[in-house]
Amino acid sequence: MSYKFQESMSLAKPDAQDLTLKQKISIFIGFTGLFILILSLFNIDFPHKSLFLGLALGCITFGTILFSNQIYLKKSKGIKNDGVWFKSISSKGFLGWVTGVTLTLFYIVLYFYPYLLGLGEKGNPNTGLIALFDPLSSLLNGHDASQWFVYGTLYTLGILVFGYKFILKYRHNRYQQLRTSSVMFFQLAFAFLIPELMSRLNSESFSLPYYDLKSIWPLNYYNFEKYRIDEFINAGNIGLALLVFGVISIFIITPILTYKYGKRWYCSWVCGCGALAETVGDPFRQLSDKRQVAWKIERWVIHSVLVFVILMTTAVIYSYLGKDTSKYWLSKEVFLGLVGGLLSLVFVLSMIFKRQELGKDARYGAIGYFVIIISLMSIHFLDPHSKLFLFKAETLRTAYGFIIGSIFSGVIGTGFYPIFGSRVWCRFGCPMAAILGFQQRLFSKFRITTNGGQCISCGNCSNYCEMGIDVRSYAQKGENIVRSSCVGCGICSAVCPRGVLKLENGNVNGRINPNDILLGNDVNLMDILKR
């Protein structure tokens, strides 16, 4: 089978939409800004750092805004996916691969070789790219920049400017506009400005850990490490309040909001990873793997990461707790008992009340992991000299930070945007998404409703699902979509040409509705098959 339109060597270029003059100008401006950043990588010492930093970030912002205006404002409101699968950048073509490789290398340098970016080591001043950000950093937090400050700034800038682009692209769709405004706000305020300004309050006698309030354990897997707990506790009431908030957000806020709205309240309205995926990653959403085998892998991988983070966090907290309950009520043994009790409770309740809704592999997986965790705990109880979960807590923590925190969420999760799509981390790796997804699948009012018999199986919904859900396979059966991985971005509903899909929070009864016969046929036939 040969399709001319899929061959990039074609003399007749299928994406005939040539750039306008204004678009060329905006590309020039944007890349000038980027070029300043690249120059600084080569240790070029700009004389007026604030000026050049402002120029670089300003040019990038202005260029992107101008370019977006050119693409979208001249056209009528509506779905703007023309040529998505023709463009090299968005269809795993040459530009896609170049971008993917560049991003991946950037992440490797960022995580493991920050001095290549100019991070001053052993008290030496910053140079290069990181030094360029020193003025902004000292303006906000009073210190020189770190590689994380540089990354955080670029990350936030990316979400803001590409968020603007996204809002223009969907300017007929209020759900998309409000959702995107929300992630832009949470990124700018909660992830970027507030923690930076908070660290201004720090002094010799008072110190708060860097805390992005919307980043909840287990996404924020280090939130309960000893140094942070010490800082929280030493910071008095404010610190304690933050610590309590961290715990409440896991056990109270999250379950309530997920019950009412599904996991989307977090994943596509608040979360920073989601924010990047929905804005910078939007041109790549169609690249997610829709095959059934990818779904099977997803279920095993993401839940394994969840088990890993629970083991790791338990081991870490356990390691610094005391043994004597008379000094403080939360001792090693009490803590372990609480963890074991909570896990057993969740396990038993799900198995009793929701067993019918769990797939075979989900049951096997749950039983398997439950048995492993409980037996590891029992081994430790029987032989207190053995290490909890066989490894030293520190080893588990470092391994998790390296494999999951750096490689999975950063290098693969974002670096591979142009190859695997924008939500690889959220789909395969994020333990927070696993917990929210578990709640969403079993204890939530959220679903995507399908509209009677109106589906024409066109496949736009599946194609543009960033989580790789085969939405069409449900819609063409007239069945609601209730999937743990759905982040509720609402794009399936937006791109549907027949008005078939609607994200809703409704009655829990009848939320899952397998249909053999769709609406449209005579009533007897539907009755016969429903029986």
Partner 1 sequence: MEHVVIIGNGISGVTAARHIRKLSSKRITIISAESEYFFSRTALMYVYMGHMKFEHTQPYEDWFWKKNNIELIKGFVKTIDTNSKTLFFESGNSLKFDKLIIATGSKPNKFGWPGQDLKGVFGMYHKQDLESLEQLAPNNKVCKRAVIVGGGLIGIELAEMLHSRNIPVTFLVRESSFWNGVLPERESQMINRHIKGHHIDLRLSSNLKQINSDENGHVKSIIIEETGEEIACDLVGLTAGVSPNIEFLKSTEIEVNRGVLVNRHLETNIPNIYAIGDCAEQHEPIGNRRPIEAVWYTGRMMGEVIAQTICGKKMSYNPGHWFNSAKFFDIEYQTYGWVFSKPKENHRHFHWKHIDDNKCITIEYNTITSEFLGINTFGIRMRHETFNTWLNEKRDIDYVINHLSEANFDPELYNCYENDILITYKNQLQKA
Q: Closest distance between partner 1 and the C-beta of residue 22, in Å? A: 17
Asked if 451 interacts with partner 1 (CB under 8 A), we say yes
Integer Cα distance of 247 and 440 in angstroms: 20
CB of residue 280 vs partner 1: minimum separation in angstroms?
21
Q: Is residue 296 a contact point for partner 1 (CB under 8 A)?
A: no
Using rule CB under 8 A, residue 129 touches partner 1: no
Q: Nearest to residue 466, comparing CAs of 412, 424, 511?
A: 424
- Exactly one of 153, 314, 444, 463 binds partner 1 (CB under 8 A); that residue is 463
- The answer to whether 72 touches 170, Cβ cutoff 8 Å, is no
Neighbours of 385 (CB within 10 A): 5
Region from 65-73, 99-107, 367-375, 487-495 binding partner 1, contact rule CB under 8 A: 487-495
Count of Cβ atoms closer than 10 Å to residue 16 Cβ: 8
Position among 240, 457, 514, 527 found at the interface with partner 1 (CB under 8 A): 457
- Binding status of residue 514 toward partner 1 by CB under 8 A: no
Q: Does 240 bind partner 1 (CB under 8 A)?
A: no
Rule CB under 8 A: say whether 81 interacts with partner 1: yes
C-alpha distances out from residue 210 to 52, 193, 249, 266, Å? 28, 11, 17, 20
State which of residues 47, 123, 499, 510 lies at the interface with partner 1 (CB under 8 A).
499
Q: What is the DSSP string of 73-125?
A: ITS-SS---TTTTTSTTTTTSHHHHHHHHHHHHHHHHHHH-GGGGTPPPTTPP
Stretch that binds partner 1, among 149-157, 171-179, 329-337, 382-390 (CB under 8 A): 171-179
Of 135, 160, 164, 162, the C-alpha closest to 150 is: 135
Whichever of 5 and 112 has its CB closer to partner 1, that residue is 5
77 binds partner 1 (CB under 8 A): yes
Q: Collect all residues with Cβ–Cβ distance below 8 Å to 221 and sequence separation of at least 6.
A: 309, 312, 313, 400, 401, 404, 405, 431
Provide, rounded to whole angstroms, the least separation between the CB of residue 290 and partner 1: 8
4, 22, 48, 296: residue in contact with partner 1 (rule CB under 8 A): 4
Task: Choose, by CB under 8 A, the member of 368, 384, 506, 520 that binds partner 1.
Answer: 520
| 255 is a site residue for partner 1 (CB under 8 A) | no
User: Do the beta carbons of residue 454 and residue 474 sit within 8 Å?
Assistant: no
Window 34 to 73, contacts with partner 1 (CB under 8 A): none
Residue number, 116 or 456, with CB nearest to partner 1: 456
Stretch that binds partner 1, among 156-164, 186-194, 396-404, 516-524 (CB under 8 A): 516-524
**Does 511 contact partner 1 by CB under 8 A?**
no
Interface with partner 1 by CB under 8 A: which range of 106-114, 242-250, 405-413, 519-527? 519-527
Backbone φ and ψ for 219, nearest 5 degrees, come out as: -65, -45
Cα gap 314→332, rounded to integer Å: 10
Please identify, among the stretches 29-37, 185-193, 396-404, 520-528, the one whose residues bind partner 1 according to the rule CB under 8 A. 520-528
Q: How far apart are alpha carbons 429 and 433 in whole angstroms? A: 8
Which range, of 174-182, 228-236, 400-408, 423-431, touches partner 1 by CB under 8 A?
174-182
**Type and span of the H or E element at 422:** none
* Site size with partner 1, rule: CB under 8 A: 65
| Pick 2 or 326: Cβ nearer partner 1 | 2
Using the rule CB under 8 A, is 9 a contact of partner 1? no
**Could you give the CA distance from residue 528 to residue 139 in angstroms, rounded to a whole number?**
71
Determine phi and psi for 58, rounding to 5 degrees.
-65, -45
Using CB under 8 A, pick the residue from 89, 189, 321, 456 that binds partner 1.
456
Contact pattern from residue 337 through residue 376 relative to partner 1, giving x for each residue in contact according to CB under 8 A and a dash for the rest: ----------------------------------------
- Cβ-based burial of 329 (10 A; exposed 0-12, middle 13-18, buried ≥19): exposed
**What token pair was written down for 256?**
């309530």
Q: Judged by CB, which is closer to partner 1: 407, or 448?
A: 448
Does position 285 interact with partner 1 (CB under 8 A)? The reply is no
d(CA 390, CA 397): 13
Residues with Cβ within 8 Å of residue 430, at least 6 apart in sequence = 219, 273, 302, 305, 409
Q: Is 528 in the site for partner 1 (CB under 8 A)?
A: yes
| Residues making contact with partner 1 (CB under 8 A) | 3-6, 10, 12-17, 76-79, 81-87, 172-175, 178, 291-292, 449, 451-454, 456-460, 462-463, 472-473, 476, 490, 493-495, 497-499, 502-504, 516-525, 528
